[in-house]
Homo-oligomer: A and B are copies of this chain.
Amino acid sequence: MRQRIQNINLSIRKISEKASKQENIVRFDIGQPSFDTPKHVKDAARKSLENKQGYSPMLGLEELRKEISREESEKKRLELDFNEVMVTTGGMGALYAVFAARLGENDNAVFNDPCWGPYKMISEVSGNNWSQVEYWDEERKLREEAKKEIRDADLIVVNTPSNPTGYVLTEEQAREIGEFADKNNTFLVSDEVYHRLTYNKEHYSPAAYSSKSAIIGSVSKNHAMTGWRIGWVIDEEENIEQYAKVSRASTACPPRISQYAAIEALKTDSHAEEMKKEYHERRDLLINRMNDIGWDFIDPEGAIYAFPNVGEDSWKFCMKMIGKGVAMVPGEPMGPESDQNVRICFGSTTKEEIKKAFDILEKELA
């Protein structure tokens, strides 16, 4: 077995294993929507069963690639062609394809601090180096240390809206980091899998400001479709052709029935606004309750997460609170500056559960 695979630490599983054994617990640790896939999307999957369930084309069904290019063109404020789209087995499949196709053993990927943990794992499996640096200062300008890291890196990941903080880039930030990466020939991977989930803010893609960039998208969170495993990568056709080799070698092609569901989700998408309305309410409630406790946190402007500083070791805090009935994810694996933060997912819980969990937390921290 390869050493670099054995070295990968799935420490975060300790949380879900402990939480799943406990009765009567609020699961803030699960990073997926509480909503089920909308009925009309499931109906489209049902209908697709009338046809033959053979392999899909390696790059995905043309109809889905066209729907994706339409949506991404609006979002990126650019005109895309469907040949610039590869459908993948989830956003994870898209990220892996880009990393494995682009980065060799001596190449370095840079991630924000904090960042979604699996970026590190993708790097470690694919076999390249990574580093982490806090990108933004309090005035929402690129920090000097970040500029240095980006300049030296081969690839930078920008994630807006952000998992785990809910931070959302402004147009100026998207432009600054996009143009800076472009100027320094650092390939930009813009992970926008939460792009429809912003609260009182607009989504801007940094990829729109770089000629050397790929966008990662997915139906998982925006459309409550995590189990279907449909994501995508957007890039120039000649780059897509290289990513496709990784995608083919690791998955052959994305699942067919899921692609029909995804076509419907992108075509008829009013459900996304309804879910967002509910997330928005949960988020406002959560902000109030975190303020009541007196925690320090960045306002979640998007996605389905808050990332408060709890003022003590994140692992100890999380393990203790599971015992009390509240499961959260420690910040430590998400970045060296985050060992006192915890990730709270408000996507997976009802308002009643948020209230119940914070009643417990308030009592425990009193």
Given contacts A1-B102, A53-B226, A124-B249, 7 further A-B contacts (CB under 8 A): A5-B246, A52-B227, A54-B226, A54-B227, A89-B89, A90-B251, A93-B251
From B1, B125, B227, A256 is in contact (CB under 8 Å) with B227
Would you give the 0/1 interface string for A64-83, flagging 1 where the beta carbon is closer than 8 Å to chain B? 00000000000000000000
Query: Once bound together, how far apart are the Cα atoms of A55 and B221, in whole Å?
Result: 11
Given A96-B250, A250-B96, CB of A53 within 8 Å of CB of B225: yes
Q: Which residues of B contact A229 (CB under 8 A)?
A: 89, 251-255
Given A45-B257, A90-B252, A249-B121, CB of A227 within 8 Å of CB of B53: yes
Task: Judge whether A103 is part of the interface by a CB distance below 8 angstroms.
Answer: yes
Query: Once bound together, how far apart are the Cα atoms of A89 and B100, in whole Å?
Result: 18
- A1:B45 contact, CB within 8 angstroms: no
From B37, B121, B239, B252, A248 is in contact (CB under 8 Å) with B121
Query: Once bound together, how far apart are the Cα atoms of A260 and B174, in whole Å?
Result: 42
Q: List A141-172 residues whose CB lies under 8 Å from chain B.
A: none
- A239:B49 contact, CB within 8 angstroms: no
Shortest CB distance A84–B (Å): 16
**Interface SS, A side:** helix
- B250:A250 contact, CB within 8 angstroms: yes
Q: List A42-56 residues whose CB lies under 8 Å from chain B.
A: 42, 45-46, 49, 52-56
Shortest CB distance A114–B (Å): 19
Task: Judge whether A242 is part of the interface by a CB distance below 8 angstroms.
Answer: yes
Q: Which residues of B contact A249 (CB under 8 A)?
A: 92, 96, 118, 121-122, 124-126
Query: Once bound together, how far apart are the Cα atoms of A249 and B105, in whole Å?
Result: 17
Query: Once bound together, how far apart are the Cα atoms of A100 and B127, in whole Å?
Result: 10
- B246:A125 contact, CB within 8 angstroms: yes
Shortest CB distance A100–B (Å): 7
Minimal Cβ-Cβ distance residue in B for A256: B227
Interface residues on A, range: 35 or more
Nearest 4 pairs of A and B residues by beta carbon: A227-B256, A125-B249, A53-B227, A92-B252
Shortest CB distance A271–B (Å): 13
Given A32-B55, A90-B252, CB of A125 within 8 Å of CB of B245: yes
Complex A-B: 23 CB contacts under 8 Å: A1-B239, A2-B103, A5-B242, A36-B53, A46-B49, A53-B225, A54-B226, A55-B226, A89-B89, A89-B229, A89-B251, A89-B252, A92-B251, A93-B250, A96-B250, A118-B248, A122-B249, A125-B249, A227-B256, A228-B256, A229-B252, A229-B255, A258-B258
Shortest CB distance A242–B (Å): 5
- A5:B121 contact, CB within 8 angstroms: no
Would you give the 0/1 interface string for A226-239, flagging 1 where the beta carbon is closer than 8 Å to chain B? 11110000000001
Given A8-B245, A52-B36, A122-B249, CB of A257 within 8 Å of CB of B227: yes
Q: Which residues of B contact A49 (CB under 8 A)?
A: 42, 45-46
- B100:A125 contact, CB within 8 angstroms: yes
Q: Which residues of B contact A366 (CB under 8 A)?
A: none
Q: Which of A2, A6, A42: most chain B CB closer than 10 A? A: A2
Q: List A1-45 residues whose CB lies under 8 Å from chain B.
A: 1-2, 5-6, 8, 10, 32, 36-37, 42, 45
Query: Once bound together, how far apart are the Cα atoms of A55 and B227, in whole Å?
Result: 4
